[in-house]
Structure 1
Amino acid sequence: MATDHSTQILAPRWLIPVAPRDEVLEDHAVWVADGRIEAILTREQAQHRRQASDHPVEWIDLPTHALIPGLVNGHTHAAMSLMRGLADDLPLMTWLEEHIWPVEGQMLGHDFVHDGTMLAALEMIRGGTTTLSDMYFFPEAAIEAVQAAGLRGVFGIVVIDAPNRWSANAEEALAKGVELVNDWRRHSRIEFTLAPHAPYTVGDAALERVRTMSDQLDLPVHMHVHETAHEVEAAVAANGERPLARLDRLGLVNERLIAVHMTQLTDAEIDRLAVTGSHVLHSPQSNLKLASGFCPVAKLLEAGVNVGLGTDGAASNNDLDMFDEMRTAALIAKPIANDAAAVSAHQALHMATLGGARAFGLDERIGSIEPGKRADLVAVNLDEPETQPVFDPVSTLVYSASRRQVSDVWVDGHALLRGGRLRQLDSRAIIDQANTWREPIRWAKPAG
């Protein structure tokens, strides 16, 4: 980990705390000490306090920047960055069954996951993501990569009935997961979820075991649910029950459920999610590219359901760009709701920060710029032709800004990116290592 001043003052042009909602502060600064946000002060107050301090305090001036909480990528499969562009312009099940699963069957392993996650971490840091929630096999390898990158990570223990290169069955996956949780429970930047893949790949017995372990270990359950109309229709045809109703019958629809995609929802299901305190993670660009459907985000928010944002994996997106995800989420919500006011820029930013943090039970630590929280912060330089003039900096961030305008990224007060330069990762080495997988993956890809 790069060495940083233990005490810093970050003084941006605009401070966007996210909580309170819709607030934008000017001529303010954030006092950071030992990786924690200690205070939000006016510039004048910060200057006086710095002068009175009996130890060195670094002043970081950000005169043309917006300072925001670090972005929370609530749903991704980081190692799948190695399969970016492998199988494009296909529907979900064709994409999975004829391309992704066969390649994974040949390529999956510790090194594949480590190298793919390193590539993803590099991309995410440069794009302002400070926390990722990963759902993939060999989570121990992903943890190593995220640790090396300095990011905060939530790692899913993937549960699937079919044998794979990480586990022979659901029971082995859960046993390995318990061991990982016990090994890493005390680490401040590592969290876990139980991650049954989807209702169509995990049977009732395994889901009941997931529910029991979720209760015992106080772990969220992170799962693809109602991703496509086909998924719902097939479930109803097979057993007369919609997947969400099945999860509810098994006791999984509760405040720990984090349901991803959710493009097929009735009003009654939305009400049930609200009553139970369940969370939804929205991946709009992946849904669009796979023609999976449209998540009714405006209805969910209106009902009081917490919604976060995720990119999904780079194999189906094809990037890990949370700025692009915010913009897409805000834009497509409007025609779906037939309301230009649906999912405002402020709501989109909330979904990309505090909404995601809340889904994983991290909202007391991250997701907003408030005293007492960890200093996971991102500075975005708005002094570019594409983002001038600035009338509302939140609108500018969501509708105009690019991830390429991210200049600085801190996690726990440690700088991972300063002035656009990486502080602890060697991008050339990571890219070169990722490229060693290109030919093996190409040959593993089924012909045609």
Structure 2
Amino acid sequence: MDSILVKGGYVIPVDGKRRIIKDGYIYVSGGKIEALGKIDDSKVKEFEHSADEVIDASDCVITPGFIDTHVHLAQALLRSAVPDDIPLITWLRDWVWVMQGVYDHEDGRVSASLCVLEMLRTGTTCFLEAGFHSRYGFDGIAEVVKQSGIRGILSKKFMDLTGYAEEEQIIPQGMIEDGRACVREFKEMHRRWAGVEGRLDVWIGLRTPGAVSDELFLESAELAQEYNSGITMHLAEVKEDIEYFKSRGTTPSGFLEKRNLLGRKRVYAHCVWFNDEDIRIFAATGTGVAHCPSSNMKLGSGIAPVKEMLRAGVLVGLGCDGGPSNDAYDMIREMKTAALLQKIRHNDPRGFTAWDALEIATIGGARALGLENQIGSLEVGKKADIIIINFKTPSVKPVTNPLSLIIYSATGLDIRDVIIDGRVIVRDKKVLTLDEDRIYKEAEERKERILEKAGKTREHEKLFNNI
């Protein structure tokens, strides 16, 4: 691997010291961070001569790459194709599942390509996928992730029932899977893709309570232990989820505890309707939460008690969720939303700081995924997952507090360069590993096919006839 010296600008290591290094540098060799500090360090001259590439980061801020802990790669094609103002269960039953239920492998590949393109372009260097249905084509999506250079955890969807919370028989035929087939495919995909290039992993993606039997829940826990894999699932996203748990005499955390689904490398998305006991148990067991504020706001699901979670020691990461629920895969926007939402929830401007926001988007996500010793901060010995944010733009001038400007003024489109595993993947805002124009063209074509095959073309035209 080439050696790279990034010098100039501000370096925000996110190393627990909450410090900002003005006129800083980072030296990368062998895919890892070898040194960092102030540019007046005597070693910098030596690095300038030995580096294969020197990147000038003047007028920029250098941070760890963002870690998105809840992503639906297959939903990128559904952006703007779903009505904006409907509640979650209707949104799923009448629209999202109907359209995803007609996907073929090409739809899955193109949607993943579009999603990964956007994530790279906006500074995400690692992500956790919520779970693939077999019809999306696991191999094709994994190949996109491999080719792109991003770090990705891909999850195989597990289900053997057709309900959601208290709603029975809600999942359409095209989205139903056989539990035994799910297990077989997970084993095969784990064998084929886990560990590829040191960037890919394969987890179990449980659909939701109501769609998974107790037997499959218990088998999932055993499989995760056997394969040293992780588990992810949507949990306590809407009030209907809590009614489901109450009807069974339990709580979200109690439900998971009984099925051996708590612990490290267990990441549950949303957790909006947690009580104090849920928070205590998650903290005590090292179980992770993927906070998805934009999605929760758009779908009217509620506001997760993230401040309380962090205070209790819960491992909280940040997630953008999906194309029709956010509707962007932009972690800088998500950080701003997370910060503002907690401030208003507590009627307290101190309720969530810019540091809190940056930490859950980086090292917090790494901890939730069990990767904190490898990524999530800029420290010597860690993998070189680095982003360079351009500050030569009107929205972030003048520069007094670069951290505040990242959270409250910048957007993901201000990302200039992205380095993953010590390799430049985005340079001067261009993704080097993917064909952008081809992806845009294919996305438009596949979107039309999906609408037609799902029987949504006329309904879509009626809803959006003013366009």
Q: TM-score range by the shorter chain?
A: over 0.9
1:129 corresponds to which of 117, 124, 128:
124
Number of the residue aligned with 1:434:
443
Which stretch of structure 1 is more off in the superposition, 276-285 or 438-447?
438-447
Deviation at 1:169, TM superposition (A): 1.3
Deviation at 1:322, TM superposition (A): 0.6
Q: Distance in 2 between matches of 1:372 and 1:304?
A: 26
Number of the residue aligned with 2:426:
417
| Preserved contact between residue 29 and residue 46 of structure 1 (Cα < 8 Å) | no
2:429 is equivalent to residue 396 of structure 1: no
2:10 is equivalent to residue 14 of structure 1: yes
Partner deviation per Cα, 1:168-202 (whole Å, 9 max, x = no partner) = 41221121111111122332010122110111211
Percent identical across equivalent pairs?
31
Q: Distance in 2 between matches of 1:357 and 1:141?
A: 26
| Preserved contact between residue 270 and residue 296 of structure 2 (Cα < 8 Å) | yes
| Preserved contact between residue 353 and residue 367 of structure 1 (Cα < 8 Å) | yes
2:96 partner SS:
helix
2:370 partner SS:
coil
Aligned positions of 1:81-160 closer than 5 A = 81-87=76-82, 88-107=84-103, 109-135=104-130, 136-137=132-133, 138-160=137-159
2:378 is equivalent to residue 379 of structure 1: no
Deviation at 1:47, TM superposition (A): 2.9
| Preserved contact between residue 38 and residue 371 of structure 1 (Cα < 8 Å) | yes
Q: Distance in 2 between matches of 1:266 and 1:56?
A: 52
| Preserved contact between residue 159 and residue 211 of structure 2 (Cα < 8 Å) | yes
2:225 is equivalent to residue 215 of structure 1: yes
Number of the residue aligned with 2:464:
none
Q: Distance in 1 between matches of 2:365 and 2:449?
A: 35
2:278 is equivalent to residue 250 of structure 1: no
Number of the residue aligned with 1:76:
71
Number of the residue aligned with 2:355:
346
Q: Distance in 2 between matches of 1:178 and 1:102?
A: 28
| Preserved contact between residue 21 and residue 346 of structure 1 (Cα < 8 Å) | no
Q: Which amino acid aligns with 1:120?
A: C
| Preserved contact between residue 36 and residue 374 of structure 1 (Cα < 8 Å) | yes
Q: Which amino acid aligns with 2:65?
A: G
2:19 corresponds to which of 17, 23, 28:
23
2:336 partner SS:
helix
Q: 1:279 to 1:21 in 2, by over 3 A?
A: farther
| Preserved contact between residue 123 and residue 387 of structure 2 (Cα < 8 Å) | yes
Deviation at 1:166, TM superposition (A): 8.2
Q: Which amino acid aligns with 1:57?
A: D
Q: Distance in 2 between matches of 1:338 and 1:161?
A: 43
- Count of aligned pairs: 440
| Preserved contact between residue 228 and residue 263 of structure 1 (Cα < 8 Å) | yes
2:362 partner SS:
helix
Deviation at 1:141, TM superposition (A): 2.4
| Preserved contact between residue 199 and residue 243 of structure 1 (Cα < 8 Å) | no
Deviation at 1:304, TM superposition (A): 0.7
TM-score when normalising by structure 1: 0.94
Number of the residue aligned with 1:58:
53
TM-score when normalising by structure 2: 0.90
Deviation at 1:394, TM superposition (A): 1.0
Consecutive unaligned residues in structure 1, runs of 5 or more: none
| Preserved contact between residue 166 and residue 173 of structure 1 (Cα < 8 Å) | no
1:86 partner SS:
coil
| Preserved contact between residue 282 and residue 295 of structure 1 (Cα < 8 Å) | yes
Number of the residue aligned with 1:195:
205
Aligned positions of 1:178-193 closer than 5 A = 178-187=187-196, 188-193=198-203
Consecutive unaligned residues in structure 2, runs of 5 or more: 163-172, 460-467
| Preserved contact between residue 225 and residue 244 of structure 1 (Cα < 8 Å) | no
1:72 partner SS:
strand
Q: 1:251 to 1:27 in 2, by over 3 A?
A: same
Q: Which amino acid aligns with 2:44?
A: Q
Number of the residue aligned with 2:179:
170
Q: Which amino acid aligns with 2:178?
A: N
Deviation at 1:440, TM superposition (A): 1.5
Q: Distance in 2 between matches of 1:186 and 1:122?
A: 22
Q: Distance in 1 between matches of 2:195 and 2:255?
A: 34
Q: Distance in 2 between matches of 1:160 and 1:139?
A: 16
Deviation at 1:283, TM superposition (A): 0.4
Deviation at 1:159, TM superposition (A): 0.6
Partner deviation per Cα, 1:246-293 (whole Å, 9 max, x = no partner) = 111112122332111001011111111111111111000001111111
Q: Distance in 2 between matches of 1:445 and 1:351?
A: 40
Which stretch of structure 1 is more off in the superposition, 307-316 or 35-44?
35-44
Q: Which amino acid aligns with 2:324?
A: A
> What is the aligned-residue RMSD (CA, Å)?
1.7
